[in-house]
Structures are given as C-alpha cells and as structure tokens.
C-alpha cells in the first residue's frame, strides 16, 4: 500500500477488505472459521441448494435500528433562526459529489459534479450498452460509487447514496467496481421510475437495487457497503447504512448526527455480496464462510434537515483518515470563509442571508467568486481555478483533506489509531490509501431564503 510518494509500505495480508472469514493461516483477514462452528456451516449448506447464485446469509440476526426519540423529534421540529411557528419549512437540497481513485492524483476541477435535476436525470446513472462502455464513463472514484436522483422525478423528494466495493474480490479476478457502481445505477433507475403514490424508503430502495444487481448477467460476483438516504420537502430524512460507509450531519458549527460503522471484526465491514459457486466451493474447502449481509441488516435512522445544515456521505477512504471533528473543521472553515455561516457575539453561529446565493450555480461562482481548486492545497499540481457552488467547494475540500491525510506517513488517522490498539507490537503510522468518494448536501429553507432576500433588498 502506498503511504506517500516514493515510499512503499507493505500492509499485513489479513487487512485486505475481504469477502470471506477464514482461519488466520490462510492469510486472509482475521475472523472465526466455520470449522469451529459446525451448526453455522450446516445452515450454510441448507441454504446453498435453494439459491446457488445468490450468496449465502449465515448471519441472520435482527437488523439494528436507530430512531430519534420523541424528545429529539420535538427539538428538531422547533423553529430556529427567527422562523415563525406557523411557517412550514420547504427544504431544498443542493448536492455535489467529488471523488478520487486510489493511486491517482486528485483533480477537483475534473472530479467534482453538481446535481442539477434540470440538466440531467441523475448522478451515478451508468451509461452505455456494454459493461466496458459503462466502465469508461464512470467518474474517477475507483471502487467507490454514488448516485443522486429525484424520486419519481419529484424535485421535492430526493434519494442519494454512496457505496464502496469490497476490494478483496480483485484477488479472484473480479472488478469490485462493477458491483458498487451497478448497485448505485440500479437504485438511481428505481428512484426515477418510482410512483409518486407510494412512499419510498431507503432500506426498500437498497433491497430493490441489490436484487437487480445480483440478477444482472454481466455482474458475476462482488460485494459492497452502502449508505442510502431519502429526503422529503419538509426536511424529513430517512437514512439506512450498511457497513463502514456512513454519514455526518453538521449544524452551525457542531456535529448533529453521525452513523456508526457496522463491522463483523476489525476492518471487516458488513457487506452485501454475490458469490459464484466456484468461489463458494473453494471457501468451503478451506473452512471459510462468505459474508453476505442482506439490506434488512442496515441501520435505519430518522432525522430532520434544517436551513443551513450540511450533510456529508462518504466511503471509508474518508472515515479511515478523518474523524468527525476533522470534517467539522474543514466544513466550518469553508462555511465561514464563503459567508454561509456567520458568527455573532451573542448567538454563536447563524445562517447567513446569502446562503441561497452561494448554493446557486449561477450566483455562487460569479457573484461570490467561489472556486473549487482553491480548496485543495496542491500547488505542485498547478490546478486551474475552477468555479463552483458552496456544495462543490465543500465536497472538494473534504476529498482533498482526506487525500492528503491518506498519503501522510506521520499523521495518524482513525485507521492507524485502531491498528495500534489491535496490533500494538506492529503499529501502523500515517494514513490509509484508498478510493475516496463524498456527497455533500446543503439544506436551504426556501421560505427563509425569500425572507432573507427581501431583507437584503430592503437594506440596499
């Protein structure tokens, strides 16, 4: 694994993001072997004859759920920023995606995309009639993938997700990107064609996308983690997370909500997968079990998005190198410098009246001079100054910071610190090189934005 330019560090073989638990002497990641649990192995064989193409699901515990308490729900619905009790929030979401493939230079002006419903049906929708055509047209995100789309093409209801293909499949000659990108593309298709008469949930969307992915004849095997959200016009958000991708919700300079990673063991996340018969048979010979955590095992959370909130969805290429406070620092810095958040002596942070202009692709770059490439400290690359909106600036800034941390040999991130706990006699120092993908969502209450615009015009 590359730690920095000119420096190569060999990672322990058991840390590969693998699809199978096997004994340690097989040189796979740590985990309990099925030969030590005959009952578990027997259940796998019972499932095997029912559906050989679908990977087995030997872990049939109840899915963990996470819901907001009544007290928290009441607090979320309370009016803020001077809004009246009678005002019904109309939350619009302004979304940008940015990514960087492992081992590649980060070019924010080429790898950052705005989601504009009027310009395209969806972000992350694969184009092409063959798998090769689809691969060529993917963003520079490696095995990571994402999508954004309106539910039934209703601009007030939006679904979006991020996914991380399990790299261990490459050892079997499988491109892990096909599964993660296929999943996101199928979820985008489902979202766009959804009937407005029926409410779509994130776990339901994940299940449909997974079923379509494993039924795709061009996808022979693979696995992925995923974090999926569906939001409504009043700011209500349901979000399902399976594995070690996840989300972070920020509000006025503070962390509001965040997801916890789902793992079977250290560096072994929950993962949906498709295992072909030959690999399954090989795993059984060596005493291993395929990992396949079905979508119903995803953690489910209900939250509210308010005016000025920033929501970040990211793969483990971010979370392994940056913690929540690191991301909060990056976001807060750019929210202050762009003027999206103001800091008052008596109220702390408040949402700026120009927020609605900063997220507008016509006003943000031109009226306020927002630049994407300014957010990345990479003078050696001599990047041109690319214009962007607030959400694209934030997405590029987070990816740039995660990329820098991943290449550092001295900056210990969350992965390095956990490695030091797990293996104190062989400590890991520095970042963890990986694919990186980020979705940034900025929430704007249109009613509040209109009030602010009127106040600004009155002052002028």
Average pLDDT in the chain: 81
Residue 342 belongs to some domain of the structure = yes
Whole-number Cα distances in Å, 267 to 243, 244, 320, 412: 10, 9, 10, 16
Task: Name the token pair of 99.
Answer: 């990514």
- Answer yes or no: is pLDDT of 405 > 70: yes
For 30, residues 6+ apart whose C-beta sits below 8 A from its C-beta are 14, 24, 265, 266, 268
Q: For 108-135, what is the mean pLDDT?
A: 87
Spatial distance between the Cα atoms of 436 and 395, rounded to a whole number of angstroms: 11
Structurally, how many domains does the chain consist of?
1
Residue 367 domain-assigned (yes or no): yes
In a domain? residue 77: no
The mean pLDDT of 236-259, rounded to a whole number, is: 97
- Predicted local distance difference test score (pLDDT) of residue 228: 98
Using one digit for the tens of pLDDT, what is the confidence trace for 224-235? 999 999 999 999
Q: Is residue 215 part of a domain?
A: yes
- Confidence class of residue 153 from pLDDT cuts 50, 70 and 90? confident
**pLDDT confidence of 130, banded at 50, 70, 90?**
confident
Residue numbers of the domain that contains 319: 8-62+91-459
The pLDDT tens digits for 425-454 are 988 899 999 999 999 999 999 998 888 777
Is the distance from CB of 408 to CB of 4 less than 8 angstroms? Answer: yes
- Check residues 407 and 75 and name the one with the higher pLDDT: 407
Tokens 């090769």, located at residue? 132
Domain CATH number, residue 448: 3.60.40.10
Residue 2 maps to a domain: no
With CA atoms as reference, report the closest residue to 98 among 324, 312, 369. 312
Tell me what the mean pLDDT of segment 110-130 comes to.
86
The listed range with the strongest mean pLDDT (68-72, 151-155, 262-266, 393-397) is 393-397
Of 127-141, 180-194, 375-389, highest mean pLDDT? 180-194
Let me know if residue 79 belongs to a domain: no
pLDDT of residue 38: 40
Q: Is 15 helix (H, G, I), strand (E, B) or coil?
A: helix
pLDDT at 17: 62
pLDDT at 458 over 80: no
Cβ neighbours, 10 Å, residue 74? 10
Residue 434 lies in a domain: yes
Contact indicator for 187, 205 with CB cutoff of 8 Å: yes
Sign of the C-alpha dihedral computed for residues 32, 38, 39 and 41 taken in this order: positive
Strand positions, DSSP E, 90-245: 91-100, 112-114, 122-123, 144-151, 154-165, 222-231, 236-242
In a domain, 69, yes or no: no
DSSP 87: P
- What percent of the chain has a predicted confidence (pLDDT) above 90? 57
Per residue in 282-305, pLDDT (tens digit) is: 877 877 777 889 999 999 999 999
Nearest to 31 by CA among 41, 39, 40, 21: 21
């Amino acid at each position: 694994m590359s730690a920095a330019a000119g420096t190569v560090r060999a990672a322990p073989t058991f840390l590969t993001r693998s699809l199978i638990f096997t004994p340690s002497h097989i040189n796979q990641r740590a985990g309990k072997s099925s030969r030590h649990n005959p009952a578990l192995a027997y259940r796998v064989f019972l499932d095997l004859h029912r559906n050989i193409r679908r990977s087995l699901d030997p872990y049939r515990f109840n899915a963990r759920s996470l819901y907001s308490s009544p007290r928290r729900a009441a607090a979320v619905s309370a009016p803020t920023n001077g809004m009246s009790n009678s005002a019904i929030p109309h939350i619009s979401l302004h979304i940008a995606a940015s990514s960087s493939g492992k081992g590649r230079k980060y070019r924010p002006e080429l790898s950052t995309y705005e989601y504009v419903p009027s310009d395209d049906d969806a972000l992350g929708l694969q184009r092409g009639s063959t798998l090769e055509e689809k691969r060529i047209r993917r963003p520079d995100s490696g095995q990571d993938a994402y999508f954004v789309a309106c539910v039934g093409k209703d601009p007030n209801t939006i679904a979006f997700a991020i996914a991380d293909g399990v790299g261990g499949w490459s050892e079997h000659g499988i491109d892990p990107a096909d599964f993660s990108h296929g999943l996101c593309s199928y979820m985008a298709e489902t979202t766009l064609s959804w009937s407005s008469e029926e409410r779509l949930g994130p776990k339901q969307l994940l299940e449909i996308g997974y079923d379509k992915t494993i039924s795709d004849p061009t996808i022979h095997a693979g696995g992925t983690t995923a974090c999926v959200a569906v939001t409504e016009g009043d700011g209500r958000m349901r979000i399902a997370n399976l594995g070690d991708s996840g989300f972070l919700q920020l509000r006025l300079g503070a962390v509001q909500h965040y997801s916890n990673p789902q793992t079977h063991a250290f560096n072994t996340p929950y993962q949906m997968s498709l295992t072909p018969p030959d690999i399954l048979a090989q795993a059984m010979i060596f005493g291993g079990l395929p990992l396949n955590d079905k979508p119903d095992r995803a953690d489910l959370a209900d939250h509210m998005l308010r005016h000025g909130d920033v929501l970040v969805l990211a793969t483990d290429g971010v979370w392994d190198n940056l913690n929540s406070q690191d991301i909060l620092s990056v976001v807060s810095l750019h929210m202050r410098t762009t003027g999206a958040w103001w800091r008052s002596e008596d109220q702390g942070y408040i949402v700026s009246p120009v927020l609605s202009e900063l997220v507008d692709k016509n006003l943000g770059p031109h009226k306020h001079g927002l630049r994407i490439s300014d957010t990345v400290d990479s003078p050696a690359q001599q990047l041109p100054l690319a214009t962007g909106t607030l959400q694209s600036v934030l997405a590029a800034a987070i990816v740039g910071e995660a990329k820098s941390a991943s290449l550092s040999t001295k900056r210990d991130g969350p992965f390095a610190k956990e490695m030091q706990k797990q293996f104190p006699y062989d400590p890991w120092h520095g970042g963890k090189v990986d694919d990186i993908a980020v979705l940034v969502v900025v929430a704007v209450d249109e009613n509040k934005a209109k009030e602010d615009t009127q106040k600004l015009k009155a002052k002028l």
